[in-house]
Structure 1
């Protein structure tokens, strides 16, 4: 298991390194080479969320039934490599357009729908529910470390060699991820989940079981609202970050990636901090609420960025880095909460339901960010998105905290040993009456 976890870490780390190159290259291509508006950048960001909304629930149900999740993940990596390589070739030959970038987003979103559910199914298969939190923290630390190096290198690579080389780097990283999965030795077979005939006939209703889970308890309903508001605001902010830094702050393309370097450091710090905060006995539910709220509030330095270039870059780096610090802790805490609360037979559907909700939220946030950027101006739009998110969190927060405490009290009550029942035979006739 340890060897396979190490290989999983290597594959995910390599993939994260490459993904940073694409994430930084796409807005640069759209804004500097194709002349995209803020609204068009929003459409490119939104394209990757559509498959998750349309197919997410079915993908979750499928993930719970796939007997060999690792083999399916290898296929997803190979298809992802092919799609990124195709756009890289289109850029190299000068035939790429906004439609090409949107198409890449759609394909990557489609592949990511199933891969997102299989990731947790496979991870739980490797380490079990008890160890999933610490292992997830380690995997996340590797991803943030790779992203840190990628952010340092992406800007100079794009400036010196062009965006096609950056996308080619991402394609190679997917191949390395597939090779790491292929090298694992542990059995690639998910635990069989017994189903009744009625469950097999349930079809789409069964796929929607994950959504029903999030509606079943007051804490899970509050948690969902608490996640959605920051996620929508943060997606809108992410959509406008490229236009803001390149056109409003006038950051040179060669140092554009450096504004994101602090994000990698903060991600590593947050992943390490999560391992300490989420030790056995700690309340992961309260942790996830506090950290999502803090991630949203810490976006504020980004729209403040102005003045001399070093000061503007510093403010922007804080506004991009601090949310990653709190978000890293929140993500690990969220996985721990779901691994505890979601039944094992519903893990794929539960994660898919969350993915569908987050995809819909990301779609709304990306479109809202692009629309507000064109309507109000980029800096004003950033303030509007952050302010709206903070208002929602402030309204929902108290109820979410109360529900988390109630659920923890219930869990502690269930864990107490049941009192011994009196022995009627020894208590005598009077006690029996």
Structure 2
């Protein structure tokens, strides 16, 4: 299976690409022009912090051994005892941790302190993601969601999307609404970037889903047969569900607003990818199309809930990732087949209500776990260093306030070197000029 290791190296690079540049572009285009760099920086800093933290303790907590909620973080501290060929699996899982944390940033765009985000990222990863990854992916007898409950999650509907979506909801409530929310149009500033980001996310998601294959103790010949069968299924399901979600989203958008927008198409791509993530190994192609269509339609409706319920989820993390993750996780209990990776027939295939109940319980545990612990982390930061920038800084734009830069440095007159960090790096001090 030497080819498998090469495959996993490519899959890992694809998943890393999902955060930078794909998510950064997707979220950056949806942000306002005065905060686009900050939005993208939130993804980039998440890569740096979570990646190193994962190698230090995250792998040990998630995959080091037994435990209901997590394993001893110091058992495999800094990968002690992990062989060098095992580093591939570590880095693959690290990219999952990275994008899960980065997804949350879209809920608090335009108004969160960069210092608060830098504090939130490692604490939330330690408290919420690493334990959730253990409960979902380690699949020991004691691990809560996969082991004791028995819920299926092929690539992260609970650990990634429900986890991040619920965290985004809690953080958005704690930080409060943007200035002008519900009163003025807070439109995306560059949908071209968003469309490009969505396309790159779709491409990267093949690493995410198809790379999540897990082998048992079979022979090399049996593993090879499983590899081609399972990767073929997950690749086809990921593709078809996403296609169906685009159509489902645009249909609802047209029925509601008589428009089929580029933002709707991009959002439909992500909704379909989110929903098929937990189910891609469990369902057949008919089930994948059904899950994608349902997710596209329901998420298109759900993004409007923020105006009815009064929470400001800036870039629709809740409407797409929380709702889409719940849909994909629960519908495994309806559409899974015994020929799939989990070997369980869902409701439509004669399996009864057992699997559906397991999937619903797994989703509820993920919602409760993420919601409660995110609230604890968010409140701790809010009442120490503070979560939100000042009103003046929000109006001016976080890009310049936090980073000393502007995404679009357009001048109406000559000169215009600017001030601050950017000027110090770009404007030379010549003899006779004032420093």
Q: Same fold, TM exceeding 0.5?
A: no
> How does the TM-score come out when normalised to structure 2?
0.31
How high is the TM-score relative to the length of structure 1?
Answer: 0.31
